[in-house]
Amino acid sequence: MTMNSSAITSDTVMEKELGNSKSVYKTNQLNLWYGSNHALKNIDLDIRENEVTAIIGPSGCGKSTYIKTLNRMVELVPSVKTSGEILYRGRNIFEKSYGVEELRTRVGMVFQKPNPFPKSIYDNVAYGPRIHGIKNKKILDEIVEKSLRGAAIWDEVKDRLNENAYSVSGGQQQRICIARALAIEPDVILMDEPTSALDPISTLKIEELVQELKKDYSIIIVTHNMQQAARISDKTAFFLNGEVVEYDKTDTIFSNPSDKRTEDYISGRFG
């Protein structure tokens, strides 16, 4: 009983702070170990629909680990063990019956280093739809165009769809990777420092794109660049040593953080 009522009060407090949009991902008491390395500690996070949620923190604090847990990519590391739960649209992704392939069809991912396949631009974007069984050339054509438009790269590559994806610049490759993720028509897009390998202009393009994409998708983005978090996100979670120190509206985190460590980090005193 007491447990229950306290849960309700903490939920109501959260509601007030985070607004009352729908929850996409709800992480409850998540712990994760790489062998004996306790990389994530008692994470509680409530991630909302059609928002950009930024995850910031010094390197090694567990940002990538957390975001890779959301689509269970982290399980590719054999030594990983987890406890706690992550509810995606209300269903625990650690449930035995939850297929990872199914989860990853709903949750697209963009990685730190642009990683197109050594195939044509077209085949890169069509990869997802094809593995999910779409063979019709006309439908594939439409998906490819729509996804490339969605990733704001259609005009730059529409005449060279059959060229190798590695023949374009790094910034363009990253947008092709975003298009590739859009092509599976996901609900959520995870991005792990998507601009850290890019020049300032490409970075700007991707930041604008993220703003555009949040109308249709929920976006969770890891960044080590605090200005970037401040510019593009609605909510920010500050991670430190595997814990969430503070999670709040981005404005609040950057103008009026409630934890001394958050303040120290965003004012550049460590990290």
Task: Name the site residues for other proteins (rule: CB under 8 A).
Answer: 71, 73, 76, 78, 100-105, 108-109, 111, 113, 115-119, 127-128, 131-132, 164, 166, 177, 180-181, 184
Neighbouring-strand partners of residue 38: 33
Which segment (54-62, 87-95, 227-235, 258-266) binds ligand ADP by CB under 6 A? 54-62
252 binds, among other proteins, Mg ion, ligand ADP, none (CB under 5 to 8 A by kind): none
- The number of C-alpha atoms within 13 Å of 33 and in the hemisphere containing its C-beta is 9
Is 72 a binding residue for ligand ADP by CB under 6 A? The answer is no
Pick from ligand ADP, other proteins, Mg ion, none: which does 255 bind, CB < 5 to 8 A by kind? Answer: none
Alpha-carbon 145 to chain mean position: 23
Residues ≥6 apart with Cβ < 8 Å to 141: none
Q: Which of these ranges, 21-29, 61-69, 102-110, 229-237, lies near ligand ADP under the rule CB under 6 A?
A: 61-69
Give the pair of three-digit tokens for residue 250.
Answer: 């981005």
Neighbours of 81 (CB within 10 A): 12
Q: Of 94, 93, 72, 82, which Cα lies nearest the Cα of 33?
A: 82
Segment interacting with ligand ADP, rule: CB under 6 A, options 7-15, 31-39, 88-96, 124-132: 31-39
Could you say which of 60, 199, 208, 267 contacts ligand ADP (CB under 6 A)? 60
Told to check if 61 binds ligand ADP by CB under 6 A, we report yes
**What are the distances in angstroms from CA 218 to CA 145, 188, 232, 263?**
21, 5, 13, 27
Cα–Cα distance for residue pair 53/49, rounded to 1 Å: 10
* Spatial contact of 51 and 250, defined as CB atoms under 8 Å apart: no
Nearer to other proteins, 102 or 251 (CB): 102
Give the nearest distance from C-beta 101 to other proteins in angstroms.
4
Return the range that interacts with Mg ion (CB under 5 A); candidates 48-56, 64-72, 161-169, 172-180.
64-72
Q: How far is the CB of 35 from ligand ADP (least distance, A)?
A: 7
Q: What is the signed CA dihedral for 55, 170, 111, 54, rounded to 10 degrees?
A: 10
Choosing from 53, 64, 173, 202, the residue that interacts with Mg ion (CB under 5 A) is 64
Q: Which residues bind Mg ion (CB under 5 A)?
A: 64
